[in-house]
Amino acid sequence: GTFDIGMIGLAVMGRSLALNMADKGFRVAGYNRSREVTEAMVKEYPHDNFTPFYDLREFVEALARPRKVMLMIKAGGAVDAVIGQLTELLEEGDIILDGGNSFFEDTRRRYEALKEKGIRYFGVGISGGEEGARRGPSIMPGGEKEAYEQIRPVLEKIAAYAEGEPCCTYIGPDGAGHYVKMVHNGIEYADMQLIAEAYILLKSVAGYTNAELGDIFEEWNQGELKSYLIGITADIFREKDDFEAGELLDYIVDSAAQKGTGRWASIESMKQGVDISMITAACNARILSNHTELRKKAAGLLSGPEPVKAENRELFKNQVRDALYAAKIAAYAQGFDLMRDASKKYGWNLDLGKIASIFRAGCIIQAVFLNDITEAYRKNPELDNLMLDEFFRNRLEECQGGLRHAAAEGIRSGLPLPAMTEALSYFDAFRGGYTGANLIQAQRDCFGAHTFERTDREGTFHHDWGKRN
């Protein structure tokens, strides 16, 4: 065969990626389980470099060797099913790329199973939704390093570009790419939650209107908070409603959905023993928001304080800005800590600075802030935690006052600020030198003889608690 690459799954994401590849001059073969989807695609989006196939064998035979097949299908059993069909048709040395949101443990399993058959398997994290897929996403490929050279030309050409560099880099073996995508999504949840908290603070405590909020976020988007999410948020505040007077935002139900990849990060963090409390808080905030009926009932039964009124709105606005920035540092510190731990646990040798740099464009968390993360790891690749980097240390020094103040006003006003308050707890537990865990160890030894260590002498101790009585 002669086709550069084959795409299986021509729903929104697969179609967009296939067309992106075709635009970049690659000859793409396409296949979809349901024929109608393929037919609809070629009718609506005809492209000289894209050829549809309706038979999987013919599709595979049309590909140049080593064959490269990308799957862009529903994650889970569908991926195993299609891999099963493909392994009958592929040969040793051929490459399968899974571009969907697969769970990284599934990718690890598939990678090992296919390795035995001589097929090279890549779990490729792709971020940026439909628009990213069509115009240039952030791409996180994980698999066999030598085989990466075979797929590098396609992936790097279709990726987003930041300052002339592709937002695509080899991440690491087996499940590393999907793992990093999972953490990206977790960070995305925390980022969005923090912005929502800044919103309710500015709205409730300082009484800013949507129009004013639009201006504030636009102003913030000129500086160090400049990011895709802050930018779209500024526009969202100004978007007029189609049906009623005022802005659409005010008519949207207060309940946030999720597809679950952010939640995976939270679950993994618990298994690994890494604190990503802000990501977990962001997951929980969405979960509780979904209980709309129960919350309506509770609102009638449980009271809280009236919102305090900011005496100096301008000052408060700047405190919220600092709060957002300081808490964002903590959220990224947690997410990158999770990747650092996984890198050691799975032997992935992740380049965290490079990973930050491929998030600079194409994906939801793209932000100028990522340059500072890359720089922190460039200065010290062994950095234990982002909050210990000199630049971030200084910024935390300057912004923590704002975070404390804004969070305190929110607490006094009865506003839920799960991510900001977790940021503070994390920061203070991390830097304070004392957390009260001595009491917990005492309790554990008291009820379960779990032993404890002492501050003043070596060894493990058990005390016969309550002997006094």
Catalytic residues: 181, 188
Q: Minimum Å distance from CB 147 to ligand NDP?
A: 22
The footprint of ligand NDP on residues 65-94 (CB under 6 A) is 72-75, 78, 81-82
- Nearest CB to ligand NDP, comparing residues 130 and 445: 130
Q: Minimum Å distance from CB 393 to ligand NDP?
A: 35
- Nearest CB to ligand NDP, comparing residues 67 and 184: 184
Name the β-bridge partners of 125.
140
Return the residue nearest ligand NDP (CB atom). Answer: 100
- On whether 102 is known to bind a ligand per the annotation, the reply is no
- Nearest CB to ligand NDP, comparing residues 72 and 373: 72
The 3-class secondary structure across the chain, one letter per residue, is: CCECEEEECCCHHHHHHHHHHHHCCCCEEEECCCHHHHHHHHHHCCCCCEEEECCHHHHHHCECCCCEEEECCCCCHHHHHHHHHHHHHCCCCCEEEECCCCCHHHHHHHHHHHHHCCCEEEEEEEECHHHHHHHCCEEEEECCHHHHHHHHHHHHHHCCEECCEECECCCECCCHHHHHHHHHHHHHHHHHHHHHHHHHHHHHCCCCCHHHHHHHHHHHCCCCCCEHHHHHHHHHHHCECCCCCCEHHHHCCCCCCCCCHHHHHHHHHHHHCCCCHHHHHHHHHHHHHCCHHHHHHHHHHCCCCCCCCCCCHHHHHHHHHHHHHHHHHHHHHHHHHHHHHHHHHHCCCCCHHHHHHHCCCCCCCCECHHHHHHHHHHHCCCCCCHHHCHHHHHHHHHHHHHHHHHHHHHHHCCCCCHHHHHHHHHHHHHHHCCCCHHHHHHHHHHHHCCCEECCCCCCEECCCCCCCC
Q: Which long-range contacts (CB under 8 A, 24 or more apart) does 376-384 make?
A: 377/351, 377/352, 377/353, 378/353, 381/351, 381/352, 381/353, 383/352, 384/340
The answer to whether 37 contacts ligand NDP (rule: CB under 6 A) is yes
- On whether 10 is known to bind a ligand per the annotation, the reply is yes
The answer to whether 100 contacts ligand NDP (rule: CB under 6 A) is yes
- On whether 32 is known to bind a ligand per the annotation, the reply is yes
- Nearest CB to ligand NDP, comparing residues 36 and 464: 36
The residues, any chain, with a CB within 8 Å of residue 429's CB and separated by 6 or more, are: 435
Site size for ligand NDP (CB under 6 A): 22
> CB–CB of 266/279 below 8 Å?
yes
- On whether 184 is known to bind a ligand per the annotation, the reply is yes
- Nearest CB to ligand NDP, comparing residues 185 and 210: 185
Binds ligand NDP (CB under 6 A): choice among 1, 11, 341, 442: 11
Binds ligand NDP (CB under 6 A): choice among 1, 66, 129, 231: 129
- Choices 4-12, 214-222, 240-248, 307-315 (CB under 6 A): range interacting with ligand NDP: 4-12
- Choices 11-19, 161-169, 197-205, 207-215 (CB under 6 A): range interacting with ligand NDP: 11-19
The answer to whether 232 contacts ligand NDP (rule: CB under 6 A) is no
- Nearest CB to ligand NDP, comparing residues 182 and 326: 182
- On whether 129 is known to bind a ligand per the annotation, the reply is yes
Q: Minimum Å distance from CB 198 to ligand NDP?
A: 25
Q: Minimum Å distance from CB 73 to ligand NDP?
A: 3
Binds ligand NDP (CB under 6 A): choice among 34, 209, 255, 441: 34
- On whether 77 is known to bind a ligand per the annotation, the reply is no
Q: Minimum Å distance from CB 129 to ligand NDP?
A: 4
- Nearest CB to ligand NDP, comparing residues 81 and 294: 81
- On whether 49 is known to bind a ligand per the annotation, the reply is no
408 φ/ψ sector (left φ>0, alpha ψ -120 to 50, else beta): alpha
- Choices 12-20, 220-228, 284-292, 322-330 (CB under 6 A): range interacting with ligand NDP: 12-20
Helix 176-204 to helix 261-272 angle (10° resolution) is: 110
The answer to whether 410 contacts ligand NDP (rule: CB under 6 A) is no
The answer to whether 12 contacts ligand NDP (rule: CB under 6 A) is yes
- On whether 385 is known to bind a ligand per the annotation, the reply is no
- On whether 74 is known to bind a ligand per the annotation, the reply is yes
List of residues contacting ligand NDP (CB under 6 A): 9-14, 32-34, 37, 72-75, 78, 81-82, 100-101, 126, 129-130
Residue ranges for the known binding site for NADP(+) are 9-14, 32-34, 73-75, 101
* Binding-site residues from annotation for substrate: 101, 127-129, 184-185, 189, 259, 286, 444, 450
Q: Which residues are annotated as a binding site?
A: 9-14, 32-34, 73-75, 101, 127-129, 184-185, 189, 259, 286, 444, 450
